[in-house]
Amino acid sequence: MSISLIITLIVIGLILLLLEIFVIPGTGIAGILGFAMVFFAIYKSYKDYDNPTGHYILVATLVVTFALLYFSFKSKTWKNTMLKSSINSKVNIIDKNLVKQGDIGKTVSRLAPSGKATINGVLYEVHTTGGFIDEKSEIIVLKIELNKIIVKLKN
């Protein structure tokens, strides 16, 4: 195996390892394949060439690996890929004076088993007891638990 093929295997293996760490963590396939390629390339360098050449390739691979990891963690390039938006949504705040048990409303979306409905002219996220209720159906409020409105289909 030529030195250029060994170096190519090491480079591709390191790229796969970096992908495993930063882009697709948790899958394992890229990491295992990258580690196997680097290990195989170093093994072949010892087997096909003398020990000093194998040592040089091993040390160079370790130095390049640590340098890549260091600059990958320190680099500002990852800041360009980070999510910078913030979540401004709120939990359903239910005014007990506006919504009471027994109030009647109308579904805006299909409740499967949760969705949107208007009750007394105000849009809320509502939940059924487990069934599905179609859009534009009349509903009745069964109970209010903390910030959750439980409804059923009006008969």
- pLDDT of the residue at 75: 63
3 state SS of 70: helix
Distance of alpha carbon 7 from alpha carbon 19, whole angstroms: 18
Task: Using pLDDT thresholds of 50, 70 and 90, give the confidence band for residue 41.
Answer: very high
Q: How many residues make up the chain in this entry?
A: 155
Q: Mean pLDDT over residues 54-75, rounded?
A: 86
> Among the CATH numbers 3.30.230.70, 3.60.20.10, 3.40.30.10, 2.40.50.140, which is that of 104-153?
2.40.50.140
The pLDDT tens digits of the residues spanning 97-128 come to 888 899 999 999 999 889 999 998 889 899 99
CB 64 within 8 A of CB 32: no
Please determine, for residue 37, whether its predicted confidence score (pLDDT) is greater than 90. yes
Q: CA 5 → CA 13, 40, 45, 95, 116, distances in Å?
A: 12, 11, 10, 70, 60
CB 65 within 8 A of CB 20: no
- pLDDT of the residue at 43: 92
Please determine, for residue 27, whether its predicted confidence score (pLDDT) is greater than 80. no
Instruction: Find the range with the poorest average confidence among 22-26, 78-82, 95-99, 107-111.
Output: 78-82
